[in-house]
Chain A
């Protein structure tokens, strides 16, 4: 992205922002609440006024946004249904089934979302996002309101399924960034500035028991803290 300017009325969130996201890897944008990371993601998704999207994206929000009147399978195929392209829809269905099997929902295809647990719903949303098959995947704190164990499971799953895709994941959780991000960038200040890329060693999903990571973790926390003032 180049020379982005994000503002709401008089409140400037960021300006002259030029960011590069490495292709085929997951970049985590880490920042405290209210710093403007969601705005940045919405800018990338073309959801802010006067900010045309730079390329097609698949978007996953904090809530699962599953439609309660559609089955799990139809929810995963929502994009194809909305674009009303019958041949693409027919072609995408096997992939949707395969993705749902990947996220462990193979036997829940016909269920309605309200029959699923919170973790299952988020997994279905993950399958829907990946089924879109867009060059860029954008995720806005997708696991924020899940319980700790479910969150860990989903981070592993997401890291595995996002392999080879260009993804931007927004989070306020340094541990999440360390687990799933090939690259981490810290957002801080008003209007925010983006810190230099941090690339922890190891393959994602990283094991947090690695002592090197705890050093990085305290570094990230210090950065989030110090610059937020």
Chain B
């Protein structure tokens, strides 16, 4: 209830600000107008949103798989970690905006470059949280598996990995929250569809209200992705506290 009241209060404040300053709609459209545009251009927004949603979801899945595989490889092998970990860190030190044009150049204007960009921002929180989780297994559990003559592979699969799943779940939540960044930046740099594309296009044409409408839809999409991930995390990892 409270978030709703806050949201309505902010919208009323925005409306009052437009009315008081007399700002022209191509600078700052009032929320009533944004809402009207959302209703008017519903089909367009839905189509672009579907496109962005696909980019985000495919990017998220790809990033999660890539991140999980890398974290497991790092946890299982010191050699791989020494060679590949610096590369992972470099991939995050380069701002994604800086390599976005390159990715578009190599992968084209279509889905692939946006998915690649989303996966690029997503995989890092996944690698770092899961790898951390794999390293911090309760030492008592490791002692137990040693006295039970478990092989390193069995210990990894049956104890360290499930024990690290709560950490993986928080990584996945962060990943879901940053997924829109990758997708939208990709669309800004070069695309022929998607909400980010719609925003740049409508801003260039002075249709600021439509850009705001796209932004609102993007927000809702991001929230939906986050809560869906959170729900899945709770469903698959019911043991949140790692306990003793």
Contact = CB atoms under 8 A, between A and B. Distances in A.
Q: Do A and B bind each other?
A: yes
Nearest to B163: A67
Interface residues of B, number: 24
A132 interface: yes
B150 interface: yes
Nearest to A61: B140
Nearest to B143: A47
B234 interface: no
B154 interface: yes
11 contacts: A42-B143, A45-B143, A61-B143, A63-B140, A68-B241, A78-B144, A79-B150, A82-B148, A82-B149, A83-B149, A83-B154
A56 B140 contact: no
A71 to B, nearest CB: 12
Given A57-B147, A59-B147, 7 more contacts: A46-B147, A56-B149, A65-B138, A68-B243, A69-B239, A82-B148, A82-B159
B149 A61 contact: no
Interface in A44-79: 45-47, 53, 56-59, 61, 63-65, 67-69, 78-79
Interface string A131-154: 010000010000000000000000
Nearest to B242: A68
Q: Which 10 pairs show the lowest CB-CB distances between chains A and B?
A: A82-B150, A68-B239, A79-B148, A59-B147, A63-B244, A65-B140, A82-B154, A69-B162, A82-B148, A65-B144
Contacts of A46: 146-147
A170 to B, nearest CB: 14
A46 B244 CA distance: 22
Nearest to A132: B148
B158 interface: yes
A191 B144 CA distance: 27
Interface of B: 138, 140-141, 143-151, 154-155, 158-159, 162-163, 165, 239, 241-244
A81 interface: yes
A84 interface: yes
A214 interface: no
A227 interface: no
Contacts of B141: 65, 67
A52 to B, nearest CB: 12
Nearest to A56: B149
A67 B159 contact: yes
Chain A interface mostly helix, strand, loop or mixed? loop
B189 to A, nearest CB: 43
Nearest to A84: B154
Contacts of B145: 82
Contacts of A79: 148-150
B151 to A, nearest CB: 8
B146 A47 contact: yes
Nearest to B148: A79
Contacts of B146: 46-47
Given A61-B140, A65-B244, A84-B154, A114 B239 contact: yes
B87 to A, nearest CB: 32
B147 A45 contact: yes
Interface in A76-98: 78-79, 81-84
A98 to B, nearest CB: 20
A57 B162 CA distance: 25
B199 to A, nearest CB: 44
Given A78-B148, A83-B148, A83-B150, A67 B140 contact: no
